[in-house]
Amino acid sequence: MASHIGRRKFLATLGGAAAAWPLAARAQQPERTRLVGVLMLIANDSEGKARLKAFRQGLEEHKWTEHINVRIEERWSGGDAERIKAYATELVSLTPDAILAMGGRALTELRQRTRTIPVVFVALTDPVGQGFVASLARPGGNITGFSLFRTSVIGKMLEALKQIAPQVTSVAMMYHPHNVSAVHYSRILEGIALSVGVKPVAAPVRDAAEIERAIDDYARRENFGLLLPTDAMMLIHREMIASLALRHRLPSVYAARSFVSGGGLISYGPDTIDLFRRAGGYVDRILRGKKPGELPVQAPTKFELVINLKTAKALGLEIPPTLLALADEVIE
C-alpha cells in the first residue's frame, strides 16, 4: 500500500512540474521585436543623421535597443514630393507599431494613408491650425508630437539681425510655397516687422535655381536682409544659401544652427536634436500601450543662438558684446 501511495505522489509531483514547464518557458521568451517607421524630409547627411541618432538615443534611454527589441525602418525623401508619397505608402504597408514623421508634408501623406497607426511628428509649426490635431492638450486620433515653433521666434530672429546689421530696412522671408507653415510664418512676420523697423517681403522659391535668382535680386536692392524660418527645402540647400548670402553680402538670419556652421551669419531657433531625443520618449510610451491622442503636443523648451564671427567679419559687421554674451555657440 505504501508503495502505491508513494508512486501516486511521485506522479502528481511530476505532472505538476510538467504543467509548470510551458509557463516558465513562455516567461523566458523575449518580447516580440517592435517595428518603428521613420520618414525624414531632409537628406541622409550629417544633419539628418544627427537628428535620427538623437531619436535612437531617446529610445535607448527607455530600454529600446535596436536589433534586440526594436527595429527601425528609415526612409529619407530629401524633400522630394514624389518620394515622400512613395515612402509614406511603403511605411504604412509595413504596419509598424509607430511612425516618426518629420515635417508637415510627411505628416500630410501619412495621415492620408492611415488613421490607426500611431504617428509622432517632429518639426511642425501649427498642428492645430493645420488640422492635424484637435488641440495641443488632447490631440485625439492617431497623431501627436513636438511642434517646432513659438510665435516669439520670428521676432527674436529679426531683433538679432537688426542688432548685427542695423542698416537693414527690408527683410525677405524665403520659403518653399508648399511649406504648409508658410502662411503662419508670413502672418507673424507682418505683425511684428514694423515694430522692429523693417519691411517684410515674401520670397517663395521652388528649387535651387529660384533660390539663386532671388538672392541675386535682393542683393541688388538697398539695405536688404534675409530671414529663413524652418523649411525642409531650405535646409537641404543650406550650404548653397549661406554661400550665396555671403558672396552677395546679404546679412541673413536662420532658424537652424546648421546654416551657421555651414557659413551663415546667425541663427536663432529651437534645438531640434533635443526634440528628436524627446520624440524617442513619446514612441516609448506608445509602444507600451499609451494612445497618441492622449499625449499632449509638446513645444520646444531649448533654443539656440549661434553666431559665425568669421562671416560677420567678411561682411564688415560688428557683433554687439551684449549679443555675443547671449550666444550658445560662437564659430570663429
Determine the average pLDDT of the residues in 203-229: 96
Task: Say whether pLDDT at 24 is over 70.
Answer: no
From CA 332, how far away is CA 260, in angstroms rounded?
11
Residue 158 lies in a domain: yes
Task: Say whether pLDDT at 22 is over 90.
Answer: no
Q: Are 147 and 298 in contact (CB under 8 A)?
A: yes
Q: Which of 121, 128, 129 lies closest to 148, judged by CA?
A: 121
Q: 281 and 144, same structural domain?
A: yes
Residue 291 lies in a domain: yes
pLDDT classification of 80: cutoffs 50, 70, 90: confident
Residue 8 lies in a domain: no
Q: 164 and 73, same structural domain?
A: no
Question: What is the pLDDT, as a whole number, of residue 18?
Answer: 44
Q: 226 and 321, same structural domain?
A: yes
pLDDT classification of 164: cutoffs 50, 70, 90: very high
Task: Give me the residues paired with residue 203 across strands.
Answer: 174
Task: Say whether pLDDT at 27 is over 50.
Answer: no
Q: Which of 262, 103, 247, 263 lies closest to 175, judged by CA?
A: 103
Residue 16 lies in a domain: no
Q: 284 and 191, same structural domain?
A: no
Q: 234 and 195, same structural domain?
A: yes
Q: Three-state DSSP class for 256? A: coil
Q: 290 and 211, same structural domain?
A: no
Q: Which domain holds residue 122?
A: 34-149+271-301
pLDDT by residue (tens digit) across 209-221? 999 999 999 999 9
**E strands, the chain, in order:** 34-40, 70-76, 98-102, 119-124, 143-147, 170-175, 199-204, 224-228, 252-254, 266-270, 303-308, 329-331
Task: Say whether pLDDT at 318 is over 50.
Answer: yes
pLDDT classification of 30: cutoffs 50, 70, 90: low
Q: Total domain count for the chain?
A: 2
- What CATH number has the domain bearing residue 45? 3.40.50.2300
Q: 41 and 95, same structural domain?
A: yes
pLDDT classification of 21: cutoffs 50, 70, 90: very low
pLDDT by residue (tens digit) across 232-285? 789 889 999 999 999 999 999 999 999 999 999 999 999 999 999 999 999 999
Task: Say whether pLDDT at 38 is over 70.
Answer: yes
Residue 68 lies in a domain: yes
Q: 321 and 176, same structural domain?
A: yes
From CA 295, how far away is CA 36, in angstroms rounded?
18
pLDDT by residue (tens digit) across 104-127? 889 999 999 999 999 999 988 889
Q: 327 and 201, same structural domain?
A: yes
Residue 289 lies in a domain: yes
Residue 21 lies in a domain: no
Determine the average pLDDT of the residues in 131-140: 96
Q: 288 and 323, same structural domain?
A: no
Q: 125 and 165, same structural domain?
A: no
Sign of CA dihedral 85, 274, 243, 180: positive
* C-alpha cell recorded at residue 189: 512676420
Determine the average pLDDT of the residues in 289-308: 96
Q: Which residue has the higher pLDDT, 15 or 141?
A: 141
Residue 92 lies in a domain: yes
Question: What is the pLDDT, as a whole number, of residue 252?
Answer: 98
Q: 261 and 217, same structural domain?
A: yes
Task: Say whether pLDDT at 103 is over 90.
Answer: no
From CA 146, how far away is CA 245, in angstroms rounded?
31
9: buried, middle or exposed (CB in 10 Å: 19+, 13-18, 0-12)? exposed
Question: What is the pLDDT, as a whole number, of residue 240?
Answer: 95
Q: Are 318 and 167 in contact (CB under 8 A)?
A: no
Question: What is the pLDDT, as a whole number, of residue 3?
Answer: 47
From CA 198, how far away is CA 252, in angstroms rounded?
14
Average pLDDT value for the chain? 89
